[in-house]
Amino acid sequence: MLFGLLETRVAHAHGNPSEIYVLDVAGGQLRRLTSVAEDEPAVAWSPDGSKMAVYATRGLYLIDRQGRATLAVDTGGYGGLDWAP
């Protein structure tokens, strides 16, 4: 019983689920773009600005400017993301 008190506890959680927002710099309007509830999402816009890729714990998403998402790959992780032309 005493040895169990001396063991290191393991954390099984990360940060709170996040969403992606866009800001209209001309008008100042903030708009929620996604409803993916992902932990630590990495975002990269397509070269023409019509879509974004979001890489997060549940997978890689392709999202258009209206916020419609498609889960492209269902194996996720953590790390950076770049969308090269």
- For 49-75, how does the pLDDT look when each residue is reduced to its tens digit (9 = 90+)? 999 999 888 888 899 988 888 877 878
3-state secondary structure of 5: helix
Give this prediction's pTM: 0.71
Confidence at residue 48, expressed as pLDDT on a 0 to 100 scale: 93
Sheet order of strands, 51-56 included:
42-45, 51-56, 59-64, 69-73
Q: Residue 79: phi, psi to the nearest 5?
A: 145, 180
pLDDT tens column, 18-35: 899 988 888 888 989 988
Name residues whose C-beta falls within 8 Å of residue 18's C-beta, 6 or more positions apart in sequence. Answer: 37, 38, 39, 40, 41
3-state secondary structure of 56: strand
Confidence at residue 52, expressed as pLDDT on a 0 to 100 scale: 92
- Amino acid identity of residue 13, one-letter, is A
Confidence at residue 65, expressed as pLDDT on a 0 to 100 scale: 86
